[in-house]
Each structure stands twice: as structure tokens, then as C-alpha cells.
Amino acid sequence: MIIVWDWLLLLLALPLLFFPEHLLGVILGLILIQLAIRKAVTGEFIPPTPYNLAILILMLSLGMSFLVTFNLSLSLPKITSILLGIALFFSITIFSKQKDVWSVVWVYLALGFLMALVGLFGSVWQPPFTFLNEWKKLWPLGAGMPGTAEGIINANELAGVLCWIAPLMLAFVLGLRRRLWSKYAIIYVFLTAATLVTVFLLIATSSRGGILAFSVSAVLVSLFFVSGRWRLVLAIGSVIVVFILISYGRSLTEQDIVGDTLGFSGRIEIWSRAFLALSDHPITGVSVNGFRQVVHVLYPLFGISSEIDIAHAHNHLLQAGLDLGLVGLVSYLAIWIVSAALLIATIRNLVRRRARSHSYYALAAGLSGSLMAGWLFGIFDAVALGSRPAFMWWILISLTASLHYAVVYSGKHLRVHRRVAQDTPLEGNGQLLSPAAGLGTHQEL
């Protein structure tokens, strides 16, 4: 039983990432114990998934990168975070196959909204959202957020995290409104309110990259639930919004697309140094999280002060290469490609089986939007693979794999009669379904 629910234990271990390095051994020990128990019970260390080869290569690249680590206190927290994310991925895929995917979905949304609220208290809000700084008075920890620079959460990183969350929330608000409103009105009201708060905070970060990424993903999610002439209206509206964003970003040469003080020219200079570092260390990279020190010592920046901490390369692909080398970059890119392929196959299967009204369709739309937003945000900024919030990305990947299995391979009946909304949310054996599932008892292929 413990190997089914061990993903919750891993989530409970996440706060240890904010404490001194010697406590990170607890997380690593927990992962090793988890693997040993799984091997003893199931006969295998990891379950088969479409991601296994890419993740195995990524782990090998992580080992190669570890060999050139020059500052263990700098790299170990990030390495532990990556390993914890991978362990979480496999644990969730096992749980989803044996139980259901919806428990993980609701936990993910709850964690996402909690992170949005933490960001509300831990960020420094700029005009015209300075009134949000008053909320900090309600935060019980006067010293700020543990494990962050000066107790402050970076607004751009917060925007990147919310890009993983807001599109999935939006998909459920649009795709599950009838089912949830008819049976679980309170849940739907709370979900809608949480979505509005999350989107508002994303906009309040003033991260142009985050706002652009979410805007594109919101259009993508909406396309799943509109048809015919409304798609044309949405397309025209999107073009208008793009022109507005282009006009708003005309000062791009003075201030970068994510709106921080580095400027677009600063981004270009950082990228040039990242390319130089990667060309000099193509096999191992410069060690996990090592770029922030290496760049000032070996590849000094002329337009950016050496006193500024360059936490990452401001591009998720370049940062993956710097952390893990070119082979690791390929494996990281392969995870994205596999995710896109799985979502396309899942959506096609749902459409072919006329299951657009099924909850899985809304989940597929949300995952598509969240991964799209994460990818676009990563072009001009990055939530690094080893950062503390990166476990949310691994949960997204695990949900993608779990949804694909549930739709394509589990053999579940997906097409739902119109009268299902009037049925009791009980399965044939009397077990209560998840609020999002709500399939009722009248199903057909």
C-alpha cells in the first residue's frame, strides 16, 4: 500500500529543500528507501513509461555533471530537487494506474493555489500593484520566505510557476462548468475564484514573458471548448491582442520582454556567455547551478554588474545544457517532445471516441495549455530544472503520462450520455467518484 501513496510522502519532504544542506540527506535517503521497497514488492525499481529513456539519460548526465561540481553547497540542493522531481514523477504514474489521476490533479491545483498565495506575501509588488504589499503584514514570518534571496520571491519566477497552474485552472472552469455546477457548485465557485486570483497575481508580477505565455495558452485552452464561428472570433480577437502586446513591447531594446532591470540587451549578453560556457563544457556542462558563479569568473559580463547574481541563463534550454551538458539538454528536450506527442495522441483518441464532454478532455486541454505556457515562458526566462518549484513541472509531466495511459490503454469507457449530469456520482460498486470525474453510471464506447 505504501508504494501507491508514497508520492504524498515525497510531497511532505519538499519543505526540507529550504533547510541547510545536511538535511538534504533525508530526502535522498527517502528516495533510496522508496526504490528498495518498490523493488521488493513489484520486482522493479521504476514503472515503464514513455519517458523512461529520456529520464535515464538525464540522470546519467546529472551524474556526469556531478563529477565537475566545484561547489557542493551550491549544486547539492539543485541536484536533490531534480532527483526528488524524478522520484515524484514515477510515484505518481504508479498511483494513477492503480488508483486514479484525479486525486493528483486536485492536489496539484491546491498546491498551485497555495504557491500563488505564498507569492502574494513573498513578492515585492511594483506599480500599479503596490497595494498588494500591504498583505505582507498578514504574513506571520516577518523575515520573509525561507530559502529565498533576502526573503523575497522573484516576481518573474513566480510568473513562470503560475504559468504551469493558471491554464489548467482555466480549462476546468471552462470544461467542467456544467458538471461541477450541477453537482458541486461550491467547488466550482471556489475553483473559479482561485483561477481569478491566480491569473490576477500572474498579471500583477508585470512579467511580460509570463503574461504573453499565459495569453497564448489561454487562447489554446479556449479553442478546445469553442467551435465553428466562435473559433474565428477568438482568432480575430487573438490577433488584436497580439498587436496590442507588440505595441506595448516597443521599448524591448530598453526593457526586456519580462520587464525586469536586466533589459533585453542584458538577456542577449547572458545568452552569449551561456553559449560560450556550453561550447567550452559540452559533455558535463558547468555543473548544476554553477553558471551563476562561472559567468562572472570566466565569462565576465560588460553590461551587467558582477554584483548582480545571475541565477540562471534566462532560457530553460540553455540552462539545462549548462547544468547537464549537451546530452542532458537533448534528454530534457526529449521530455518536452514526448509530452507533446502524448497529448496529441490523447486528444485525438478522445475526439475519435466522441468524448469531448468527458472530464479527461478538460484535463488534456489544461495540460496542453500549462505545458505551452511553460515552454513559452522558458524562452526569455526560466524556472530552472533544479529550482525548488520545479517539482510542479514534474507533476505536470506525470499527469500527461497518466492521462495518456488512462485514455489510450486502460480500456475505460469514455463517451457519456447527455443525461449523465442527472445521475448520482456513484460508480456501479457504490464508490464515490472524484468531483471532476462525475461520469455517472450511464457510459458507452
What CA–CA distance (Å, rounded) separates 25 from 344? 39
State the DSSP H helix or E strand holding residue 443, giving kind and residue range, or none if neither.
strand 443-444
What CA–CA distance (Å, rounded) separates 156 from 136? 19
- Say what the pLDDT of residue 99 is: 86
- Say what the pLDDT of residue 141 is: 55
- Is a pLDDT exceeding 90 seen at residue 159? yes
Q: For a pLDDT cut of 90, what percent of the chain falls above it?
A: 48
- Say what the pLDDT of residue 149 is: 57
- Is a pLDDT exceeding 90 seen at residue 364? yes
The mean pLDDT value of the chain amounts to 83
Per the structure, the count of domains in the chain is 1
- Say what the pLDDT of residue 410 is: 77
What CA–CA distance (Å, rounded) separates 81 from 98? 26
Cell representation of residue 319: 540552462
Alpha helices in 19-71 (DSSP H): 24-42, 52-67
Q: For a pLDDT cut of 70, what percent of the chain falls above it?
A: 79
- Inside any domain, residue 431: no
For range 167-188, the mean pLDDT:
91
Torsion of the alpha carbons at 87, 26, 12 and 53, rounded to the nearest 10: -10
- Expressed as residue numbers, the domain containing 181 is 2-415
- Inside any domain, residue 424: no
For range 213-239, the mean pLDDT:
79
80 band by pLDDT with thresholds 50, 70 and 90: very high
252 band by pLDDT with thresholds 50, 70 and 90: very low
Q: What is the pLDDT of residues 103-158, one digit of tens each?
A: 999 999 999 999 999 888 888 898 888 888 888 777 665 555 555 555 578 888 99
- Inside any domain, residue 345: yes
Range with lowest mean pLDDT among 83-87, 188-192, 381-385, 390-394 = 381-385
Q: Look up the pTM and report it.
A: 0.87
- Inside any domain, residue 210: yes
- Inside any domain, residue 436: no
For range 289-314, the mean pLDDT:
86
For range 338-347, the mean pLDDT:
97
53 band by pLDDT with thresholds 50, 70 and 90: very high
- Is a pLDDT exceeding 80 seen at residue 242? no
- Say what the pLDDT of residue 423 is: 36
218 band by pLDDT with thresholds 50, 70 and 90: very high
| Dihedral sign for Cα atoms in the order 388, 394, 395, 396 | positive
Range with lowest mean pLDDT among 72-76, 139-143, 219-223, 434-438 = 434-438
- Is a pLDDT exceeding 90 seen at residue 59? yes
- Is a pLDDT exceeding 90 seen at residue 282? yes
257 band by pLDDT with thresholds 50, 70 and 90: very low
Distance of CA 71 to the CA centre of its chain: 28
- Is a pLDDT exceeding 70 seen at residue 287? yes
- Say what the pLDDT of residue 231 is: 65
Q: What is the CA radius of gyration of the chain?
A: 22
- Say what the pLDDT of residue 243 is: 63
- Inside any domain, residue 172: yes
- Say what the pLDDT of residue 241 is: 64
- Inside any domain, residue 131: yes
Longest dimension (CA), the chain: 68
- Say what the pLDDT of residue 173 is: 95
- Inside any domain, residue 155: yes
Cα distances (Å, whole numbers) of residue 55 to 148, 396, 431: 28, 15, 36
- Is a pLDDT exceeding 60 seen at residue 290? yes
| Dihedral sign for Cα atoms in the order 243, 245, 248, 253 | negative
What CA–CA distance (Å, rounded) separates 274 from 247? 30
DSSP track, 213-238: HHHHHHHHHHHTT--THHHHHHHHHH
Residue 123 φ/ψ, nearest 5 degrees: -100, 155
